[in-house]
A and B are shown apart, each in its own frame.
Chain A
Amino acid sequence: MEPEKIHVIWLSGQACTGCTVSFLNATHPSVVDILTGFIPQAAGITLDYHQTIMLPWGEEALKAVEAAERGELDPFVLVVEGAVPDEDKAGEGYWCAIGEEEGKPVTFSERLKRLAERAAAVVAAGTCSSFGGIPHGKPNPTGAKGVMDFLGKGWKSKLGIPVVNIPGCPVHGEHLAEVLAHAVLAVRGYLPLPELDEMHRPTYIFGHTAHENCPRCGLFADGKNSHAFGEPYCMGLLGCKGPISHCDVPKRGFVEGVGGCTAIGAICIGCTEPEFPDEPYGPFLKKAPAGFFVMEKIHSIGGSLDAVWSRIKEKFAGRKL
């Protein structure tokens, strides 16, 4: 069976290329796995444009972008890395350009607008393209924002799919590889589309906080806090923002299971969040707001009561009181 092709256009704006490098960290499946397609149901993905890791060596590169802009490349998924600057703020110049037409630079935001109209789906890889990230840090000198804000929150692709955000600075390579592989199976009817939360993030990845996913969370519940870097307990007193950040990296690790910010003894800086790098995430070494812990304690007491009651109620039940 020869699967129908699904094209991918990867466009970089105000980016550092960290998301591309991180994508190369993905292992099962790896980038090579995705592109070579071992099982037919997931095969047929072609990376038609990517400045760093594109398949063809030849003349076809920017031509693929132009073909996609004209609607001649169909269907294609647009992956965006980097924030979108506000070119209206650049006066007679420009903030970010990709190629030129008739001697004038074509801005990244212009390319994005043209491609979004034709794309089957738009995936924002990393915090910059999801929410603006570092470039939109105060005072946001270039008016940078995420793709969802740029296109409008209610925007949907021609197939009716909203912008899918996979935040993380950089995006976790496996998050991106999994979502892309999942999307292919969904487009072909094998799986439902991934469920998204109100910030358009896949809930299976971003449904819990870094704190909930942290291997040190149990130590925190047991009252053990680190007071100096190097200690093996909860990092909350040293600035960790795990309780207010949505991320599974502490549990998952970063490259083939190795690493994980809080797991190794560092702090979570909230790099997946819309406000990053501003308050309440920066200053990074400042303790997270205490409010969260009050709610957690209330829940914790409820959980402890439940744990005790669920044990003794059976005894009571046995005695038929």
Chain B
Amino acid sequence: MVKKEVMIEPMTRLEGHLGIHAVADLEKGVYVDAHSFVVMFRGFEIILKGREPADAIWITQRICGVCPTPHAMASVQAVDMAYQAPPPPMGVLLRNFLHGAEQLYDAALGCLVLEGPDYSEAAVKKWNPDWWEKARKAKAPNAKLHGYKTIADIMRALNPLSGELWLRSLAVEKLGRKMASLLGGKHPHVVSMVPGGVAKTLTPTDLEQYAAMLAHHVAFAKEFIPVMDDLLDFVLSLGYDECGSRKVNLLSYGAYDDPEAYTANYEDMSNWGLKRAVSPGVVIDGELVTQDLIEINVGVREFIDRSYYEDWAGPSIAEDPAGNPLDAKHPWNKETKPKPGPYKAWDSKYSWAGSPRWEDWKKRVDGFAHSVEAGPIARMWVTAKAGNIPESTGSSLKFTLPKATVAGYKVADEMEFEWKIPERVNTVERVRARAYYYAYSAYVMYNQLLQALEMVKAGKAEVWRKYKKPKDGMGVGMTEAMRGALAHWVVMKGQRIQNYQVITPSGWNAGPRLSDADLGPYEDAIVGTPITEPTEGELSGIDVVRTIRSFDPCLACCVHLYQGDRCIREIPIC
């Protein structure tokens, strides 16, 4: 076997800096091994110890400046629960509007600024010149909607700093952050999430201002989704479906609470979880095994066998507040004990990320903790399958975006969208799900905005409720960041944080292997990915990059390539 190593570091992401080490088999034209490693540590869980639990709402947003609001959401829900401080319905809606505004910015950023350039003229001409020739001749089926005649025209529009879609996306993204600033004071790092509701003086024009900005997103979705469909269908037609493919193991915590259902009470969590506009659920080998948020929470495990941490003593909390058994590896029992270790020790500890797994603890089929993947594809898949909401058909998610007349956009009329559950989970379908999640988020925000106006009319405009902080308590906040399932766990003793744990979506996706048979999702997705670029000469790793990007590792990255010990190339990617 002619092996070639590809070293990609730093591939910055979430809590900083990510690296990928991949091994290619040049004879078979496929990647055969991969290690994902996180190379930065700040120690949030240690810094939070002993502070007031509410401080975590502000502090944990600083884990990630690209997706801070879901951190605020997970944290405020965990603290709501620990403080027994349920917000009034308008408080729940305003939180959703903050969350939704960020998803609208973040989905466009992911698809068009971070992932898009991998399929731009600049990248394709360089790494897949045969694609470029085909793209020039391929007519874009949705040209009437978006105005790009050929696939090559779309690829040209994705060129960093000059492409039309790339530049327009920057403006659309800023509008998402502006919506978050309207209700949250600023973005990144909104300041208005507080236990018991929202710290926002609702003015008579706030909802209309939000709506006016939302209209831009609704209008943009009607071009953006057809563009992505055309581009991604073209890439699939070239036989790209093996790229980044892995088994259908998915995790969604759900998002966008029903304002009348959310109580911040753990025992009720199964109920209000099911009422979310994005459904919670776990999929193992293509089967939806549960939709129960309590069951999902109890099944979470975090292992540190291959991570720069020391193990901790057994369980200190035996049961959750509903009386279910808590494993020693459950985050409510976890302690963070960092221990820096050597670089690239592939046979031992090699990453600052832990290895989260989900155990089907109720059925206990084999006691095996599954490596599950988080992301918009998990949210869309579960919501489409679950049938909890009218838009869910069991095999697709079907919804209509309303009419929106906004200067500078091509389609004003209402438009129906249908996201169909794909046959496989791969690089292309992850990106497509992200685009459709943008449209679905705009749809949910629109409907909840109408609901908010009715509530204002009915005199239910209260945004916050006073609470009495108990001495002890525990809480969990489970929500969705753009790149997937995000949860915070807090244990409060004497009104202070005794333990605070966070598992981010990139924790689920980027975590290192537990054994060579149990890889983390990034690693698993790379193994088996075919090499589409020319293999004679230097290897760029473009297929690895596209696969990792399809998980949306937040940031662009700098790619270093090594052949043996010799550094052969370093590539920045916008």
Query: Which A residues between 264 and 286 are near B, CB-CB below 8 angstroms?
Result: 264-269, 271, 277, 282-286
Q: Are A94 and B17 in contact (CB under 8 A)?
A: no
State the Cβ distance, A54 to closest chain B Cβ, in Å. 5
Contact B199 A267 (CB under 8 A): yes
* Residue on A nearest B336 in the bound complex, by CB: A141
CB distance from A125 to the nearest CB of B (A): 12
Q: Which of B149-157, B180-188, B233-241 contacts A (4 or more CB under 8 A)?
A: B180-188
Show the binding face of B for A, using Cβ within 8 Å: 9-10, 12, 15-17, 39-44, 46-47, 51-52, 54-55, 58-59, 62-66, 68, 117, 120, 122-123, 159-161, 167, 170, 173-174, 177-178, 181-189, 191-192, 194, 196-202, 308, 338-344, 462-464, 466, 554-558, 560, 565, 569-574
C-alpha spacing A127/B98, complex, angstroms: 24
By beta carbon, the residue of chain B nearest A133 is: B62
Inter-chain CA distance A259–B182, complex, in Å, is 5
* Interchain CB contact under 8 A, A230 and B47: no
Contacting residue for A249 out of B122, B186, B343, B571, CB 8 A: B186
A12–B342 touching, CB < 8 Å? no
A96 contact from B39, B466, B569, Cβ within 8 A: B39
A232 adjacent to B66 (CB under 8 Å): no
Which residues of chain A from 34 to 68 have any CB-CB distance to chain B below 8 Å in the complex? 35, 49, 51-63
Known: A62-B558, A230-B200, A265-B200. A254 touches B186 (CB 8 A): yes
Closest beta carbon of chain A to B493's beta carbon, Å: 16
Additional A-B contacts beyond A20-B555, A229-B463 (4; CB < 8 A): A12-B12, A57-B122, A82-B16, A256-B178
Would you call the interface of chain B mostly helix, strand, loop, or mixed? loop
Indicate if the CB atoms of A141 and B558 lie closer than 8 Å: no
Q: In the assembly, what is the distance between CA of A82 and CA of B44, in Å?
A: 14
Interface size class of A (residues with CB under 8 A): 35 or more
Most A Cβ at <10 Å: residue of B15, B16, B44? B16
- Return the CB mask of A1-34 against B: 1 if under 8 Å, else 0: 0000000000010111111111011010000100
Residues in chain A near residue B66, CB distance under 8 A: 16-18, 21
Whether B570 and A283, one on each chain, are in contact in the complex, defined by CB atoms closer than 8 angstroms, is no
Question: Contacts of A91 on B, CB cut-off 8 Å?
Answer: 339-340
Of all chain A residues, the one with the shortest Cβ separation from B173 is A24
- Contact indicator A141/B47 (Cβ below 8 Å): yes
User: A263 and B185: CB pair below 8 A?
Assistant: yes
Whether the pair A265, B201 counts as a contact (CB closer than 8 A) is: yes
What 0/1 readout, one digit per residue, does chain A (200-231) give for beta carbons within 8 Å of chain B? 00000000000000000000000000001111
Chain A interface residues (CB < 8 Å from chain B): 12, 14-22, 24-25, 27, 32, 35, 49, 51-63, 82-83, 85, 90-100, 102-105, 133-135, 137-142, 144, 169-170, 228-232, 235, 238, 249, 253-256, 258-269, 271, 277, 282-286
**Shortest Cβ gap from A59 to chain B (Å):** 6
Find A259's partner among B16, B43, B185 (CB 8 Å cutoff): B185
Among the listed A61, A92, A258, which residue makes an inter-chain contact with B178, where contact means beta carbons less than 8 Å apart?
A: A258
Check B186–A261 contact: CB distance below 8 A: yes
On whether the beta carbons of B9 and A59 are closer than 8 Å, the reply is no
Give complex CA distance A103, B201 in Å. 55
Q: Which of A55, A61, A268, A269 has the most CB of B within 10 A?
A: A61
Residue of B nearest to A261 (CB): B185
B58 to chain A, nearest CB (A): 6
Do the beta carbons of B16 and A269 come within 8 Å of each other? Answer: no
**Bound-state Cα–Cα, A141 to B50, Å:** 14
- Kindly identify which residue among B51, B174, B466 contacts A282, using a CB–CB cutoff of 8 Å: B51
The residues of B that contact A265 with a CB separation of less than 8 Å are 192, 199-201
